[in-house]
Structure 1
Amino acid sequence: MGLHKVLKIVAFALAIIGAIFALMIMTGDDETALSMSGNMLYIAYTVLGIVLFLVLLFVIKGLFSGNIKKTIMTVGAFALVLVISYSLSSGSDLNLTPFTDKGLDVNEATSKNVGAGLNAFYILAVIAIGSMLVGGAKKLFNK
């Protein structure tokens, strides 16, 4: 039996179990709903674990069966974007006193990390949109 068929059966079984738990939550009283929602979380954690395992498995399989040089270059380009976004982030351009007065542990390092994440998102979004536009333009002009 192929892996695709096994995964379809597992996905179908988990969907049925989830639907049964959801119906039990909707039709039960508050105490039953509270205990059943915990069971739904266990199902969600199980599905998340299966998905993460399969993603790692197929990434590693594809990494060793494909072009390793291209993969390393792609990972290096992503790391370069992260380094650039971290270096662009200052961390001191935010007034942190409202957050620290409320008891939140926000300091300049946290602000710098959040700024770096936002910068990386913006850079990757511009690259993605640009690549879609370039691909569409090439397709348009090649016809």
Structure 2
Amino acid sequence: MLHKIFKIVAIVLSLAGVIFLARIIAAGDEAIETGEKAGLVDPIASVAYIILGLVLAFVVVFVVKNLFTNTAGLKNTLIGVGAFAAVLIISYVMAGGDELKYRLEDGFATDAQSQMVGAGLTAFYILIVVAALAMIFSGVKKVISK
């Protein structure tokens, strides 16, 4: 029953997307760029947002469902989430405010904003190194096992 409902919703959203796309194509690029038919883009954007929201909701529901039905997977997931949270915390602690004042559109960046950017960059660098080491370790392990 649920499969039929999903099929019907997918067909309705697909038809709406095709109809709105046909209207945009019929209006032409120049009409939309000049603003004459700017209202034609909003409906297809709404359909895209609806589809994105539905996909995200289904992904979250099925991931959570799978986590609770597979307890071994839940343990591994929690270890991964904990490690990622540890990387973020370490990155935030390591990042400090910057003495330089960075100009933004509406003023200057605050120390907190500067620290968050630094933490994001530090976390990115840590995760890059971890990923590279994991690939190297996997490759060496594969060569040794042959």
TM-score by length of 2: 0.77
Whether 1:130 and 2:133 are equivalent positions in the alignment is yes
- Pick aligned residue for 1:89 from 76, 84, 95: 95
- Pick aligned residue for 1:72 from 78, 98, 102: 78
After the TM superposition, which parts of structure 1 deviate over 3 Å for at least 4 consecutive aligned residues? 5-17, 29-33
Whether 1:103 and 2:103 are equivalent positions in the alignment is no
Percentage identity across paired residues of the two chains: 40
Q: CA RMSD in A?
A: 2.6
Deviations 1:60-80 (A, max 9, x none): 112112223222222111110
- Pick aligned residue for 1:41 from 45, 59, 72: 45
Aligned position for 2:22: 23
60-69 vs 11-20, which moves further: 11-20
Partner of 1:91: helix, strand, or coil? Answer: coil
- Pick aligned residue for 2:55 from 48, 51, 57: 51
Q: State the shift of 1:11 in Å.
A: 5.0
Query: 2 CA distance for matches of 1:58 and 1:89?
Result: 36
Deviations 1:28-73 (A, max 9, x none): 1335641121112201210121121012101211211222322222
TM alignment of 1:114-129, pairs within 5 A: 114-129=117-132
One-letter amino acid of the counterpart of residue 55, structure 1: V
Gaps of 5+ in 1: none
TM alignment of 1:3-22, pairs within 5 A: 3=3, 11=10, 14-22=13-21
One-letter amino acid of the counterpart of residue 78, structure 2: I
Partner of 1:122: helix, strand, or coil? Answer: helix
Aligned position for 1:141: 144
One-letter amino acid of the counterpart of residue 91, structure 1: G
Distance 1:38 1:69, change over 3 A: same
Are the equivalent residues in 2 in contact too, given 1:90–1:115 (CA < 8 A)?
yes
Q: State the shift of 1:129 in Å.
A: 2.2
Query: 1 CA distance for matches of 2:140 and 2:6?
Result: 39
TM-score by length of 1: 0.79
Q: State the shift of 1:90 in Å.
A: 0.8
